[in-house]
Amino acid sequence: MDSYTFHTPIGFLTIREEEQKLTNLFWRAASEKMMKNERHSDFLHEVYTQINEYFEGKREQFDVPLKCEGTPFQQSVWRQLQKIPYGETRSYQEIAIGIGNEKAVRAVGQANNKNPIMIIIPCHRVIHKNGDITGFACGVEVKQYLLELEKGMGLR
C-alpha cells in the first residue's frame, strides 16, 4: 500500500492507495511522526494535485476511484455524503432520511466519524439541524475552515 503525507492549509494530510484506488485520506496531527519510506505513485500524485486544487479554490469535485472498507450501513452513509454539493451542508437527520432510515441520526454521526477519506467523501458538510458545527475528527476549527473555503471560493 503506497502512501504520501504532505502539508495543506489545515495541516498534514496522508493519502493511501491500493491498486490505483484511494483507500484513505486523513489528517495527521503535527505531533505525529511521519511514516518513513513513503512511496509516491503516479496515482497518489494525481490525488495530491486534486487536493491542492481544492485548497486553491480551483476544484469542486474529485475524479479519483475510491476503495472504502466499512459496514454496509457505513457505505450507504458515505455514498449519501458524496451527494452533498460543494458549498452546501446537510444535517445528520437529512442524511439519515436520505439513506431511508430517518431514526438513524446517531448512527449516521458514527459512520461519519469512521469516514476513511475525508474531504473527498465530504463528512465536513454534515452539521446539526440547528446549524451547529460540531463533531469533526480534525477539530471544529478545521471543519469551519473547510466550510468557509467552499462557501467563499468558487472555481476561479
Residues identified as active-site = 123
Instruction: Take residue 46 and report the three cell numbers written for it.
Output: 494525481
CA–CA dist 138, 112 (Å, integer): 13
CB atoms closer than 10 angstroms to residue 27: 18
Is the alpha carbon torsion for 12, 10, 85, 52 positive or negative? negative
Q: Measured between alpha carbons, how far apart are the two ends of the chain, in Å? A: 34
Identify the CA nearest to 120 among candidates 72, 20, 38, 51. 51
